[in-house]
Amino acid sequence: MRDISRRGLLGWGVGAAAALGGVAGCSSTAAPERRSGPAAKAVERAKARPIGDGSTADAGPQPNQPPEPERLEPGQKPPQFVIFSWDGAGEVGNGLFPRFRKLAQDHNARMTFFLSGLYLLPESKRHHYKPPNNPVGASDIGYLTDEHVRATLMNVREAWLEGHEIGTHFNGHFCSGEGSVGRWEGEDWESEIDQAVSFVTEWRTNTGFGDLEPLPFDYRKELVGARTPCLLGQDNLLPTAAKLGWRYDASSPGGTQVWPSKKHGLWDFPLQQIPFPGHSFEVLSMDYNILANQSKNTTRGPSIHYPEWRQQATDSYLAGFERAYETNRAPFFVGNHFEEWNGGIYMDAVEEALKRIADDQYKDVRLVSFRQFTDWMDAQDPAVLRGLRRLEVGEKWHAGVAA
């Protein structure tokens, strides 16, 4: 395990904790809430427009989206965008996926869920996965039980209807060795993406589940962005992503709180260095990276430290947000995992931070998905964006910012 600070990083997906103690709990798939308005209309459209084996369906435009983005005028202060995203996005019985969907509903927030394709593939069908430069069926994250595949399908479906984005976290999460994603070439990424999409669009065939409704979107059109496992391999991924028409990538490590630019024609949305209370260095804006600076190589550190670490994580997120909000208004990106590491303190910290950020004391805050933020960026005057990009970390925005 590498040291994780501003000098290194490692991202984990749901199931990674199995190597360090496992995940707990078990829950059934609850029935979706009664819908009305745009979501109900989308469900009706989806029933009439199945795609392929019926794993997905065309429900038309996604419901519960913000208004069309407006272009900033020169000298107009930008909104403060905050994007909460989730790597893996599987429901493994700990109730975290529905918990944060409910939190988002309560605060009119939208998020990005980077779905791992393997979480829709039963372990009995693992031979269908042919990971680049790794044995058939291999994966560095665990396959889900059939019950948890069902729960994941339900949550992904409801999340999309609620207005959230479904991106990809690819499949096997290979972070080390000869088969690491950091060593993959373009053709390897093409294969991995094709397989991730197939697991999402063919889950009905692979699982045999005949009683579940389809995912109400055409995933090949829906998928416009990703985050790679362990934040590795972006350089070789991007040309492939551009060829597929993707619009952004959130895999870059070690970014700073400045306005983003493009790589290979895609918006580059990196995890960011943010203040880390009690330390002279900064930490990446992801739960696991905070954990690694607190409990080092274990996800179950001494419980006596949990209250202190929970507060430190909360304060770190809020410090990153407030620095952007009070200065250059750069978008604030936060990465998370549906895990109960160190007693679930990082889930509590993310929840508390989101509640505080959504408070009425902060004006012009927009809690959006990466896709929605990409829509806003694409609508802006390039000259205005160039002016915003000249603002350094902590440099206060002013009306004179211009090309």
Q: Would you say residue 13 has pLDDT above 70?
A: no
Which residue in the block uniquely carries the two structure tokens 């009683």? 211
Spell out the residues 6+ positions from residue 74 whose beta carbon is closer than 8 angstroms to its own: 381, 383, 384, 387, 402
Q: Is 239 exposed, middle or buried (0-12, 13-18, 19+ CB in 10 A)?
A: middle
* Per-residue confidence band for 265, with pLDDT thresholds at 50, 70 and 90: very high
List the end-to-end C-alpha distance of the chain, in Å, as a whole number.
Answer: 44
Instruction: Report d(CA 125, CA 35) in Å as an integer.
Output: 34
User: Which residue ranges form the domains of the chain, and what is each CATH number?
Assistant: 55-60+78-386 (3.20.20.370)
- Of 35-49, 110-124, 154-168, 234-248, minimum mean pLDDT range: 35-49
Q: What mean pLDDT, rounded, does the chain reach?
A: 92
In 63-130, alpha helices (H): 96-106
Q: How many other C-beta atoms can be found within 10 angstroms of the C-beta atom of residue 84?
A: 27
Determine the 3-state secondary structure of 101 from DSSP.
Answer: helix
Top-confidence residue, 10 or 189: 189
Residue 338: CA count within 13 A, CB half-sphere: 28
Provide the token pair at 307. 């209250």
The DSSP secondary-structure symbol of 240 reads: H
For residues 18 and 142, the answer to whether their CB atoms sit within 8 Å is yes
Instruction: Report d(CA 239, CA 229) in Å as an integer.
Output: 17
Share of the chain above pLDDT 70, in %: 91
> pLDDT tens-digit profile of 274-308?
999 999 999 999 999 999 999 998 999 999 999 99
Longest alpha-carbon distance in the chain = 61
* Per-residue confidence band for 31, with pLDDT thresholds at 50, 70 and 90: very low
Instruction: Report d(CA 223, CA 276) in Å as an integer.
Output: 33
Instruction: Report d(CA 359, CA 326) in Å as an integer.
Output: 15
Beta strands 283-284 and 273-274: pairing type?
A: antiparallel
- Residue 105: left if φ>0, alpha if ψ -120 to 50, beta else—which one? alpha
Top-confidence residue, 96 or 8: 96
pLDDT at 253: 86
Q: How far is CA 200 from CA 121, 166, 205, 316, in A?
A: 8, 11, 11, 35
Q: Would you say residue 65 has pLDDT above 70?
A: yes
> pLDDT tens-digit profile of 156-205?
999 999 999 999 999 999 999 999 999 999 999 999 999 999 999 999 99
